[in-house]
């Protein structure tokens, strides 16, 4: 939650853990880096995406659900997003970026 606030300018509380992903990439052609990423579904508390950390991320913005998922580059990220959607639908109707939308 701290990292979300620092990097996006938004504070949230954890609703549920989501699947983790692992991947490997080559850093500037020199060495392989292995990453493990833990995801969580958060409920928005406060903050504004304009307050994101420009040293850590290129940008932060709210999107309608379908548009946000379409921006995800990798299938494993889309699966995590689908799990988040399923959990939101099971708990209560989500209102995301100005309105309810289906994935």
Tens digit of pLDDT for each residue in 9-67?
Answer: 899 999 889 999 999 989 887 899 999 999 999 999 998 888 888 888 888 888 898 89
Average of pLDDT values for 66-88? 92
Confidence at residue 96, expressed as pLDDT on a 0 to 100 scale: 45
All structural domains of the chain with their residue ranges: 2-91
Confidence at residue 101, expressed as pLDDT on a 0 to 100 scale: 43
Name residues whose C-beta falls within 8 Å of residue 39's C-beta, 6 or more positions apart in sequence: 17, 18, 19, 20, 21, 80, 84
Nearest to 17 by CA among 63, 91, 83: 83
Is 9 in contact with 57 (CB distance < 8 Å)?
Answer: no
CATH number assigned to the domain covering 2-91 = 3.90.79.10
């Amino acid at each position: 939650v701290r990292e979300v606030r620092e990097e996006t300018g938004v504070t949230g509380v954890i609703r549920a853990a989501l699947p983790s992903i692992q991947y490997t990439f080559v850093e500037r052609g020199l060495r392989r880096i292995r990453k493990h990423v833990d995801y969580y579904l958060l409920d928005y508390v406060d903050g504004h995406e304009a307050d994101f950390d420009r040293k850590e991320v290129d940008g932060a913005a709210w999107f309608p659900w379908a548009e946000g998922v379409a921006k995800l580059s990798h299938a494993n990220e889309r699966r995590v997003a689908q799990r988040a959607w399923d959990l939101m639908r099971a708990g209560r109707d989500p209102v995301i970026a100005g309105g309810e939308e289906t994935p």
